[in-house]
Structure 1
């Protein structure tokens, strides 16, 4: 097969790099520039007569909030702890009270506080309580968001290494699993034991880190096993250029423009961030969907690794058993 000339290769580089830069800028800048609530679940609690005007005010911003009604403050608190809503406003005899959950999203917690105080009559005192707060070592909740990209890079690196080292089939699957387990233990030791920014069950957090890393690594290695070098590029593109900015971990999936938030939760970085948040701050509540998503990516990736390994092993065997035609007589 003829190779491209140096001039054509130079033109390809000049055209490809700007295209990649444009894709990266779109993937990262578009969600950041369009950050706003989209069907953001919040609660309103209290007597209907007192809560109705506030409910109408939130519903007036069509498509911004998904309002859930609760009979009293206790029910709203339970909904926040169960991750059914990001926060709530309780109408109490002393006045409105904002119930937030900075552990769910510090951005949403601030948004709720500002939305209520901005519309309150002059002189009205609005009480604010953080029902599920982040640990003191991570008051702004930024450490968990910062862990998504390193996990993605660790998974991509694992997939690239098993491919580059020529590991195939079961050896590749074993290496990916072992690397993911060690990443999970190391990441939990750093974030939970040393920095103190996670507050859940230690081994549940390690499991979340492990599953997220394995899902990424298996995806990249599986695509490379099936498609060759283009598969590695596709995997890295899917995880780093789409999965990371669409994850919504820094804000909330519902704060991203549609359908970026939904797509992000279908990809390993977004699902990994959601799972880690559930086990770190909410005792594993609402962790099922994220666990299933990561498990599917890991299982499909591992299947691709095993299938690709068998195909590559079978090809040389077939070539070796092919009869050699005798040379024509001179």
Structure 2
């Protein structure tokens, strides 16, 4: 029987060109969707805000806020002190306090300057329509060196890239077991220290305890690197690429670091909270500006990513080691005897 003829030499290059023609536009479309869609649809969605003051007057304010269907999630407070405490605890982004001299808007630009600006615009229009003056108080102000929160938002992508690079390096170098975990932890700790030195000590765009800030940066980098390395250990290079794409193309634009998760269209806001970049940005705000208020949720999210990623890395390494031990035995069993 004649041997089957080999495919022409030009078949492989043609397939490569076809893959290039299909994949590059698909990646561009995905990137534009992930980055441009949330930016183009920024608006309040169930944004937690407080209302305080006499019952009748506060009820009228609630009714006006409710007219913007789905924009605000209103919480009632007895007085201005209670509303301030809720803002400092990160239970709400701001509050409207009804007084005899007109409404007082309490904001927290440290929780998101874009949110504070959106609240001011919404309440100012209502006050102007009612013919009453509006006084605004920034309860927890953003740092003077980063009043618009641009620098804090800019920390998300470098940390994500650092985590992706670390995880990919561990996977591609074939590190396994304790050595691989030690490499991830060591590099992440160094990344945290360097990031804190730049953002806290030099630029002054984050405040709070230096070591706590460095810990947040390190945990954020570890969550990403462990996830990428773990997927690489289980799935090989496709797993590494999948982890990188999820973190960079979804985690970064869906993080809400430049605005707030409640300003992003759904499900982007919900997805961003569960991915390391979004959880890291939220934890950084809590630790830097709010004395750790509402830090438990994002800290737990980052910890789960780190634990699951390192677990996948250990399991993948053990499976690969078992396969390597089984390969020589299989070859010996197939070897001819006599």
Please tell me the TM-score bracket, short chain as reference: over 0.9
Tell whether the 8 Å contact from 1:275 to 1:287 is kept in structure 2 after alignment: yes
Tell whether the 8 Å contact from 1:169 to 1:308 is kept in structure 2 after alignment: no
SS at match of 1:120: helix
Q: List alignment gaps of at least 5 residues for structure 2.
A: 1-5
Residue-by-residue CA offset, 1:274-316 (whole Å, 9 max, x unaligned)? 1111001001110111011111110010011111111222222
Within 1, Cα distance between the matches of 2:335 and 2:253?
A: 60
Correspondence 1:67-146 to 2 at 5 A: 67-121=74-128, 124-146=132-154
Asked if 1:261 corresponds to 2:269, the answer is yes
What is residue 29 of structure 1 aligned with on the other side? 36
How far off is 1:116 after superposition?
1.3
Q: 1:326 to 1:25 in 2, by over 3 A?
A: closer
Match of residue 62, structure 2, among 51, 55, 68 = 55
Q: 1:18 to 1:125 in 2, by over 3 A?
A: same
How far off is 1:125 after superposition?
2.1
Tell whether the 8 Å contact from 1:82 to 1:282 is kept in structure 2 after alignment: yes
Match of residue 318, structure 1, among 322, 326, 330 = 326
SS at match of 2:111: coil
Asked if 1:303 corresponds to 2:303, the answer is no
Within 1, Cα distance between the matches of 2:275 and 2:242?
A: 13
Within 2, Cα distance between the matches of 1:44 and 1:326?
A: 81
Within 2, Cα distance between the matches of 1:253 and 1:328?
A: 68
What is residue 282 of structure 1 aligned with on the other side? 290
Q: 1:272 to 1:121 in 2, by over 3 A?
A: closer
Tell whether the 8 Å contact from 1:218 to 1:305 is kept in structure 2 after alignment: yes
Tell whether the 8 Å contact from 1:142 to 1:250 is kept in structure 2 after alignment: yes
SS at match of 2:188: helix
Tell whether the 8 Å contact from 1:45 to 1:91 is kept in structure 2 after alignment: yes
Q: List alignment gaps of at least 5 residues for structure 1.
A: none
Q: What is the TM-score normalised by the length of structure 2?
A: 0.94
How far off is 1:86 after superposition?
0.1
Within 2, Cα distance between the matches of 1:326 and 1:252?
A: 64
Asked if 1:189 corresponds to 2:193, the answer is no
Residue-by-residue CA offset, 1:187-212 (whole Å, 9 max, x unaligned)? 11111111111111111111111111
Within 2, Cα distance between the matches of 1:68 and 1:194?
A: 39
Tell whether the 8 Å contact from 2:105 to 2:136 is kept in structure 1 after alignment: yes
How far off is 1:234 after superposition?
0.4
How far off is 1:217 after superposition?
0.1
* Paired residue total: 329
How far off is 1:324 after superposition?
4.3
Within 2, Cα distance between the matches of 1:200 and 1:81?
A: 14
Within 1, Cα distance between the matches of 2:320 and 2:88?
A: 50
Within 1, Cα distance between the matches of 2:108 and 2:334?
A: 75
How far off is 1:327 after superposition?
4.0
What is residue 50 of structure 2 aligned with on the other side? 43
The Cα RMSD (Å) is 1.7
Residue-by-residue CA offset, 1:195-234 (whole Å, 9 max, x unaligned)? 1111111111111111110000000000011101100110
What is residue 236 of structure 2 aligned with on the other side? 228
